[in-house]
Structure 1
Amino acid sequence: MASSSAKGKGKEPAPLAPLPGPASGSANPAASLSALWAYLLPALNHIVKSPTNDAHKAPAIDIGFYAGIHTACYNYFTSQSENKSSARANDEPASGTDLYEQLDKYYIDAAREVLLGAPQDDSTLIHYIVPCFNRFSAGALSVNRLLNYVNRHYVRRCAVDEDKGWLRLNDVLESVAKTITVDDSREKISERLKEKRTDELKRWGYSPDGSGVTLAAAEACAEAASSPERIVSVASLAHRRFRTEVFEPLLAVPVVKGKKTKNKIPKSTSGAPPLPKGRLARAVKELLESKGGDEEERSRLVKDLAAALRMVGVRPEHPLRKRLDKFMASASYIG
């Protein structure tokens, strides 16, 4: 993925112009998945992968192209629904499943490109990952708006009506069942299910302040934390893949081969404590313990990395998240 900012003291390149739509022709982008994907792909690549001077703002596409994508998605879903109206009784996939799965594959490939470009030097890893994630996330949020019809038509139906979302009924029934008695009404049982869902969202930062802002943010994190078979919003789909394809490999514990040392970290020969197990943990250790340098820049990197780990669904109890949170809460943190 391209760098998020211009380097050097020269003049920054001009912002990218909005991407125009393809030349009009006889092909109908809603005729098939391959036709629709060919129509969408230039827009996705422009929004998610094009170089930009602002890592927090994705490049735009032409308003006509934007409207054309909305229309193409609507027509594609409508035609699928009509063609499968009788087949749904035979448990065929819901209309939109093929496009949703294609988007998932796209984000897998995009995230893997980020990992493949990661520097081998731990000291520069966070400086690379943070702007890459910010750029990726900005693109994901922009695509989420662009493909809002996918969320409305497919995700919402599958997640709510078909119980395939990030939190399913069976996920909470077992724990709730332990507190239910035979005398409990349907309303009381329903209320306990809602309480269980609220408890889970509080782990991701939800605060019942009435604004709804923390609710949406917490649910997005919980969606990204879910397993790949769960149906989540287009933005959370992208963030989840950044977790599985970028952060999880960087957090993974290297396996030391050998009869006696398998799955163990080699002991230090210098008397110093062993290094943290994963690449990202080592990079964080180096960043936090480095002396001198730009303290404000270091604090910004820590803050952005902590936010990224939360957004992609790395759970709050993960040791690296706890360490970053502790650093931000300390007196050395510059907010």
Structure 2
Amino acid sequence: MIMLNHASGSANPATSLSALWAYLHPALDHIVKSPTNDPNGKAPAIDFGTYTGIHSACYNYFTAQSEAANSAASAGKTIISGTDIYDQLDKYFADTARDLTLGAPDDDSTLIHYLVPVFNRYSAGAHSANRLLNYVNRHYVKRAVDEDRGWLRLNDLLESVAKSVSTDDSRERISERLREKRVTELKKWGYEEGQSSDLISQAEASAEAASPLDRVISISSLAHRRFRTEVIEPMLAIPKITQKSKAKHKVPKSTNSAASRPKGRLARAVKELLESSEMDEAERVRLVFGLSKMLRVVGVRTEHPLRRKLDKFISIQQSLHDQIDT
């Protein structure tokens, strides 16, 4: 087991954002970026002293900020404690994910071989960071959700709920309609009635990762959202085609053919993965399942053409497996 002996340093981590970040940063780099020989990309461990030290540092920092916020409120000013460290974490994950994009191979045929293990390692680090910074989740994220700053906000619900709410409905009835709307949104991410709490949490985590950047979400979902915006979305983007002036009036061949349309890099890589005659079938299946899970976790919606393509392949594989079993 890899351990990290975190030096406390001379500055009190609770005194400023820069001091707290200097204390947190080495531990984050260790669990998010350190190489690992674990086949599942499991994040390296940190020692118990570091874990408790970081928890105490976050607690003391938020306590000091709360006191400053109370003083500011008495003077007519508003300070939301925790926003600065949350924004710093968002920047950290954005920078980390961007570096992974820069490290991607140029060859489309090896892109998915790169992405799947890289994501597994990054995701393991995200979950480890989520546990390490649980106090940020409990103090800042939970409060933000209670203040209607989470992934699903009242304004997101009003239009659909208003159509089914009358002026005679009680507050309890309106709240029930809002809960029904939340369940409807979670079903888009695989939630089904009667599922375990773990599966419900997975659906909500995907919904969080799919949310806009201004929504406050858990630390692990924050990391996954940045993987989507800095890695997946640039690779899904369709390149712009620039035509020379002499050819601008020419009609392109096969304008109605889907095959002739330009594709994003990830779409080209998936096509190569599914159609390659040189790839071992077990490896193909493993990569497809890994890529499908990645897209779901980072918040790429079910109706996206690439997800539908992967889901179709997985459905065929499962049918073949069921036929063999019978």
Task: Tell me what 1:78 maps to.
Answer: 63
Q: In structure 2, list runs of 5 or more residues that go unmatched.
A: 322-326
Amino acid at match of 1:49: K
- Report the counterpart of residue 36 of structure 2 in structure 1: 52
Instruction: Tell me the residue number matched to 1:11.
Output: none
Distance 1:272 1:320, change over 3 A: closer
* 1:331 Cα deviation after fit: 3.7
**Structure 1 equivalent of residue 72 of structure 2:** 87
Whether 1:328 and 2:290 are equivalent positions in the alignment is no
Q: CA deviation at 1:152?
A: 0.1
Structure-2-length-normalised TM-score: 0.91
- State the Cα deviation string for residues 45-84 of structure 1 (Å, max 9, x = none): 0100000012431011111111100110000000110111
Q: List gaps (5 residues or longer) in structure 1.
A: 1-14
What is the rounded CA distance, in whole Å, between the counterparts of 1:333 and 1:304 in structure 2? 18
Distance in 1 between the 2:219 and 2:68 partners? 24
- Counterparts of 1:232 and 1:292 in 2: how far apart (Å)? 42
2:140 is the alignment partner of 1:154: yes
The residue type paired with residue 330 of structure 1 is I
1:309 aligns with 2:292: no
For the Cα contact (< 8 Å) 2:210–2:301, is it kept in 1? yes
Deviates more, 1:53-62 or 1:307-316: 53-62
2:324 aligns with: none
- The answer (yes or no) to whether the contact 2:239–2:262 under 8 Å persists in 1 is no
Cα RMSD (Å) of the superposition?
A: 2.3
* SS of corresponding position for 1:323: helix
Distance between the aligned counterparts of 1:65 and 1:331, measured in 2?
45
Matching residue's letter, 2:298: V
SS in 1 for 2:173: helix
Aligned to 2:236: 251
Post-superposition offset of 1:267: 4.7
Identify the residue that residue 15 of structure 2 maps to in structure 1.
31
Pair 1:100 & 2:82 matched? no
Deviations 1:181-214 (A, max 9, x none): 2222222111111101100001001122252121
Match for residue 6 of structure 2 among 8, 21, 27: 21
Match of 1:180 in 2: 165
Per the normalisation by structure 1, the TM-score is 0.89
Structure-1 residue corresponding to 2:224: 239
Q: Distance in 1 between matches of 2:318 and 2:180?
A: 37
| Structure 2 partner of 1:8 | none
Evaluate the alpha carbon distance shift between residue 159 and residue 292 of structure 1 in structure 2; reply closer, same or farther with a 3 A threshold.
Answer: same
- Which is worse superposed, 181-190 or 134-143? 181-190
Structure with bigger helix share is 2
Change (3 A) 1:64 1:120: same
Partner of 1:199: 184
Q: Deviation per CA, 1:149-190: give whole Å up to 9, x if none.
A: 000000000112x10000000100111101112222222111
Q: How many residue pairs align between the two structures? A: 315
Partner residue of 1:212? 197
Matched-pair identity in %: 65
Aligned amino acid, residue 71 of structure 2: S
- Could you say if the C-alpha distance between residues 92 and 67 of structure 1 is closer, same or farther in structure 2, counting changes exceeding 3 Å? same
